[in-house]
Structure formats: C-alpha cells, structure tokens
Structure 1
C-alpha cells in the first residue's frame, strides 16, 4: 500500500553527499531549488520508487537552512526493507522528491531549561534543535541532550565541541538503557534543583523507547504538558506510515501516548 501522503505537493531534491557514521548509520545531504526554508524539528516525506510503487517515509531534518543543505540521518541494517535497500543504493547526483517541511517539534523559549532524550537515529531531530539553540539561546537558560545507542555515538564529536564552547549546553551519551536511566535521573534532579521551573522534556526515538520513557517520567511526577514528542502527525491526522514499517528517521511515533 502506498503512503497516505502520496498526493501531497512534492519538491525536488538532489543528493550531493553521503556520510557514513557507522556500519549502519548514514546521513544523506541534499540541495533543493524549491526548498530553502524550514524550522528546527521539521520533517518531510521522502519518496522512493520501490518496485512499481512510490513509497514515502518521514524523515526529520538534521540540518538548518543556514547550513545550505537538507540532511536526513537514518539507520540502514543488513536485513532491511525494500525501501531502505533502495536508499542504500542511492548515488550522488540522484534527484528525488519530498513533501514540504512541517512539524511542531520546536524549541520552546519560555525561560525554562530543555532536556532532550533520544535513542539511536532519533538524535537526527535533536541535532537541528541543538543547532538552532547554539545559534540563538534566547529564552532557554540551559539545554541538555542525552542519547542512548549501543552501536555508535552519532554527532558526538560535534556536540562535544559545542559543549566546550557553550557553557549552557550539556551533551551526554550512554551505551545501554540502564546507564541511560541512571544518567537521566541524575541530570533531571540537577535541573530541578537548579531552576524554579520544571524543564521541558523532549522525547524522540523508537516506539518502545518513547513509550517506556514517558511512563517512567510520569511515574516521577512529570506532567503531560512538560513532555514534548514528535507525534508525526500530518495535517492533524496520521502520517500514513504503517506501524510495522515505521517512519524513516527513527521517531516511529505511530501511537498516541496521551492515555498512558
């Protein structure tokens, strides 16, 4: 079944570079004559011709317009779907189509700290938020990002350089869930003691990760309104991706967690 967003207006992008972060994680850099503006946390559907079908999956922008490139970071496993197999065979110069950028996963500048939790390539969406914050920290006294990934520390070197140059930014990585929760507890307690207001907590990653983290945060007394997720909604409805296949960027939030 083709994507529910297949009828949306499309824009052309051209592949100009491929970055291999690990054996499974890649970034694809594109330019576009039609898209030159988007916001941190936005995403688009990337359409590929798989067999005789056109399939679109949603990817978060890992870059900002000021970088003059559209970057999508994703995991491509040895055992992969036809869609990801097609991605693995993309070459510099290929021209593809995407929907216009959209989304509500934005920086909140309400003079409260931000705590960003992600797993795996969910860090792609976090990168654009961190870059926007490093460019303009107005209304955000401190930003902490914490990622868990057993296979590699995506963007770790870049974030460490920001950590060194920006005293109000903290970047942390863990290799397993146990260490992740221990670090999250420690940082959350530090932020709660340092600031009058509870931090806004951003959560992005696989379905299981997001669900587990939200349950954990609620058990700690964190309110719904202080938890920010990229629900991958499209014009008020589902993005159209199947729960089995998931979305492309690692933020496979097909479910709604309001009832947890």
Structure 2
C-alpha cells in the first residue's frame, strides 16, 4: 500500500534527490502512508514545492523516523530549498506533531487550519538567537497573516534555542478594534497586564429639562447730543455787542459836537449884535 502511495507522484526511493515538486493531492487519503527509514519527507533533498492537499488525511505520517523495532532514529526535517507549501497540505496528519522547516526564509503558505492537526502540533524553524531571532520573527509575521497572532504564537518555535520564550514580551500586545467607535483596546496576549481605554463619560439628561433662561437684552440708550459750547456762543454775542456799543458811542460824539457847534454859533451872533 505504501508503494502504491509513493507511485502517485511517479517517484521512487531512488528518485528522492531529483524530485523538486510534490503535486496537488499527490498522497491525499493515503491513511497507510507512514514515515520510515526508506521513505520520509526529509529525503527529498531538493524539494521546492508541496502542492495543495498533497498529504491531506495521511493520518499515519509522522515527524519522526523509527526503525523496524520502533526506536527513534531522527526527526523529519524538510529541506531548506522548500519555498512553497500549498493550502491544507498537511491537514488531517494527526500523527505529525512537529513540522520541521530548515528554510531560513518562510515558504509561501497556502491557507490551512490547525483544528485537524495534533493538539500539540508545532512548526519549528532554525535557531537565530545571535541575529535577534530574525528567522523566528519573520515566520511569526507570515503565519500571523494566516492563523492570527494568538495561534501563530502558540504553534511556532525555534529548533532548540527557545526563541518563543524570548519573544513573548515583544509580541504580547494585540490590538482589538471595538466595532462602532473605531477605538482600540490593548490586551496583553501573555495574560500579564491589561490596559483598556476608559469609555467616554455620558452626561445624564433630566427627564423634564428646563429651558435655559435667556437674559433680557438692555435697550440701547439713545446717544445724547454733544452739548454746545458756551464759549462759541459767548464769543459771537460779545463781538456783536462791542460793535453796537462802538456805533452808539460814535453817534453820541457826533450829536455832542453838533450841539456844541450850534451853541458856539449862537454866542457868536449875540456878540456881533452887542457890538453893533
């Protein structure tokens, strides 16, 4: 039965090194396909692509190589040349507890779910502690886009240097958008602390609100006319009065002169009459 499953891809044990692609649904439904020293995914040294649903439902395929007596020999580590894993390629592989990936750059992952995998299913990637866990971070970002951050963090770790534990604090914050108001609450994924925005205060409105009193506007006072200056008036009247007085004085002097002349004339005539 195992040989029949292997022949689906046209490959044999002798052709492992030359095979670069395992096609879509190549081993799908091969429940008897089991890992052994003669066949396991780690033997495809130059494998580049695994098609959609290639190992779907291969429930006996394990991540460990066992000998004939059932003793552990080695882990099945997929080659570093792998650059694509199709959608649901390993769904239903319940005996595969770990998917070891040697590629330092994440392959292109198709959509998949961990719900049909082993409960302790993990994806393990090369150690990169000396480089700030760069490989782990890159894989985490890729898997987050498929599974969400919580699930990606749960299943991902490095081969042996504990990148997951080191990066727990750095990736703990998850932004959750609250529908309706567009605000965001920050929740710690590690469960250590929790910070949430305080909701806005809503003012209570009385049942029978009283209308606000509008202050009465004071009527505008009419502008008072500017008082006329006495100085201007007095100046004009005094000038007229002075002119009148001058005229009267001149008339009086003329009258006096005329009277004096008349009396002088009478006296002269009287004097003449006496002499004669």
Q: Which bracket does the TM-score occupy, shorter chain normalised?
A: under 0.3
Larger Rg, first or second structure (1 or 2):
2
Greater fraction helix: 2
TM-score of the superposed pair, with normalisation by structure 2: 0.25
Greater fraction strand: 1
